[in-house]
Chains A and B, each alone.
Chain A
Amino acid sequence: MRIGIDVGGTNTDAALIGDDGQVLATVKSPTTEDVTGGVAAALAGLGATRVSAVMIGTTHFVNALVEAARLEPVAAVRLGLPATAALPPLVDWPDRLRAAVEGAVHLCRGGHEYDGTPISDPDPDELKRVAADIRERGLRSVAISSVFSPVSDASERRAAEILAAELGPDVHLSLSSEIGKVGLLARENATIVNAALRPLAERTVAAFGEALLRAGITAPLFLSQNDGTLMDVDHARRYPVATFASGPTNSMRGAAYLSGLTDCAVVDIGGTTSDVGILVGGFPREAAGEALVAEVRTNFRIPDVLSIGIGGGSIIAADGSAGPRSVGYRLTSEALVFGGGTLTATDLAVAAGRAEIGDLSRVAGIDPARPLALIAERVAEAVDRMRTSAAPLPVVLVGGGSILVEELPGFSDVRRPPHFEVANAVGAAIAQVGGEVDRVFSGPRETVLAEARAEAVTRAERAGARAGSVRIVDVEELPLAYLPGDSVRVRVKAVGDLDLDKLGEAGRHA
């Protein structure tokens, strides 16, 4: 048995999955201020202790950024001089967040041109002076970025070596080449965010472990990543930013699991928004461009999700249109069926006989047909916008608010699977482990691809995947112009089932 937990802003959901893959029990409890209280309550609700693994998906880290709270001041070290001096790190951050995160900014020599030739070589003496300044300011987390590090990470690694030697193991180093893609400011921003979250990540991961112990669970703990795969506790401490979009990822993966589909659209309808994503081969399609998180431009690898302002708490206007204003968590006091005075989307669902909650008599005079049809139309349009071809596409509805929708115009296959209301926790529980290769190869195309695939499979197995269960889910080739030989940047992602028998000490929280 394994347990999946989704720690959201409002609710902590949990699901217990049997070894045969059946959902055995589910529970919803309010998320507590310290996060772990909700986890402990959810574990107590499930009542199972003899489990083989616990997987947690959490929005705790992204919420810290949104609130500009619990963040560590960061030394941002960028390698690229003389280039990039016009726009130093943190240049386009909102003031409040910048004040919370900015510890020091250093522009140094190093970095590469688009073709991998050095702009300038990193200067050890300069970096030692930077280390001295970091030590003097008492900063404990450093973000290192360099120009074109997705093409060559040599400068970043050299700088990390020098800074680590000078500052010792108590200072965290986050490298941009391990975090983002081409687009310096966006990648550097993500790296600074990661650095600012590292102490919080240490504390939170430790607290999750404690909650498990107190519940009598000694099984290893994993956290969900943006791409729907798991990371062990050690990785989660170092890359908290990799959890940022695990919420929508888990609900999409859970929807895939519960519906048995691997290629479909998923609509997760909550209290305030409907989030639409696309699953390809069982994994969420990733966003191509730059994503704004808490007003900071980043290029995290996050699922391509389109949110529209329709949810169970959406307020229905006089013309029958829903949202974007919502009563949110006050639904149980403000909706008509709960004795309140506001007509919400949930009231419509009750009036239409799609849900039995609250007091049906309070919505007796309401004709829900037209406003519900308008909601279905807007959700259908959002799904249509996200699809990438005209081929028929099944749609899976999950989330507590999905009772609003039964049919979608233009889509013949619309399903709401059992346990739809805790799809996110199920998604956390069934997550797999992945291995990724992303670097520049040279040689004949077939050889290069075979080499990259084999490396990705090895990495997935090393990360805990069962041998034989690993498959390649994504291959991307980016030919690099003006490079000698046939150099090509290859990105390969492999995933496999978690092999609980070969979990190493790294996977254990105790």
Chain B
Amino acid sequence: MREIGIDQLDDLARGAGILGTGGGGDPYVGKLLAREAIRRHGPVPVYDIGEVPPDATIVPVSGMGAPTVLLEKLPAGTEELTALRALEAVLGRRATHIVPIEIGGVNSMIPIAAAAQAGLPLVDGDAMGRAFPEAQMVLPTLIGVRNTPMALADDKGNTLVVNAVSNHWAERLARAACVQMGCQVSCADTVLRGDQLRDGLVPATLTLAEDLGRAVRLARAGHADPVAAALGVLGGVRLFTGKVVDVERRTTGGFARGRARLSAVRGETGTLELDFQNEHLLARRDGEIVATTPDLICVLDTDSGEPVTTESMRYGLRVTVIGVPCDPRWTTPEGLALAGPRYFGYDCDHRPLPAA
């Protein structure tokens, strides 16, 4: 057991931003929520997966909606607990632990605030190992765990419990309700038992995010290469160092797609193209696919190591693109059906990252 206090939040948010692979929402407001909750209720205990009793009830708490709305309509602060209590009411039992549903972006921070408010410990792990845009894109779906009942709560105290025939349907219904509720709600869903954690979670990702954020900060402070520091923690491969020379955004076939073209700098040759939707999903080097979802394609500012989101991609940015292998369960046929390139509308198969 360890604790997350206020001092860890900056590193954790930076690391979570990188693991957001360009999406997941700016962790800034989430970080402030976690900070205020810890200030009021004290630091949050964090347990490794192996320390959780087999009969424990672990509930992921997260935010759903538009990150831009979260920046403007700040939460009431009651949403997380209201969603959790609504879920517990239909479950007929209380949660014993809270866990992040996704480690990438703002949803790494919401569960910290929720755990502090509920007086519950966190489990060190998450259900994606990165950021994905839809509620069914979680490892529990692969082991037959249902994301329903799914409880949603808004700032006004409205709650809604979704029951659905599949995890995909729950996503569809919840998304529609979320729009009616002001495009920003808290969710409690995808309940796990203690003995399901090994199969349902990517382990130790809270620790990973914090280590990652710290490594980048220390490298920068010591005038070392922050991208190398990030790779040292993540164990991925440097795909390209370049400069953004073109960004194109369009909507086709219901997908809001973007593509960024990078030209070489610093002894690099050739070009790299990045295809993105909410997250970076595909990287082509000189026309050849070198990385695809569900592997993590992280874009970092070459000098600072700070994550570059898909919204902030613009001409002139000096960035380094790194590829990080996803959890191996995502590259099974079932995993790829859920979050592989074809699900996102790309006519290609997943291919493993090049050797480092």
Contacts and interface: CB of A to CB of B under 8 A. Distances in A.
SS class of chain A's interface: helix, strand, loop or mixed? loop
B74 A87 contact: yes
A85 B71 contact: no
A91 B32 contact: yes
Interface stretch (A76-84, A228-236, A491-499): A76-84
Contact of B72 (A86, A183, A387): A183
Interface string A173-207: 00000000011110000000000000000000000
Contact of B155 (A83, A91, A185, A390): A83
B97 to A, nearest CB: 22
B179 A482 contact: yes
A1 interface: no
Interface string B309-337: 00010111110000000000000000000
Contact of B73 (A148, A385, A482): A148
A87 B72 contact: no
Contacts of B314: 388
Given A86-B36, A87-B33, A385-B316, A183 B71 contact: yes
Contact of A92 (B32, B155, B156, B312): B32
Given A86-B75, A87-B75, 12 more contacts: A82-B155, A82-B157, A83-B155, A85-B76, A86-B33, A87-B29, A113-B182, A184-B74, A384-B316, A387-B315, A389-B315, A390-B245
A68 interface: no
Interface string B198-210: 0000000000000
Given A80-B73, A83-B73, A387-B315, A114 B182 contact: yes
Residue among B33, B73, B156, B243 with max Cβ neighbours from chain A (10 Å) = B73
Contacts of A82: 76, 78, 155-157
B294 to A, nearest CB: 29
Interface residues of A, number: 29
B77 interface: yes
Interface string A245-279: 00000000000000000000000000000000000
Contacts of A389: 315
A147 interface: yes
A353 B29 CA distance: 53
Interface in B230-282: 243, 245
B71 A182 contact: yes
Contact of A114 (B29, B157, B183, B317): B183
Nearest to A113: B182
A419 to B, nearest CB: 30
A114 B74 contact: no
A182 B68 contact: yes
B315 A388 contact: yes
B69 interface: yes
A86 B315 contact: no
Contact of B66 (A80, A83, A114): A114
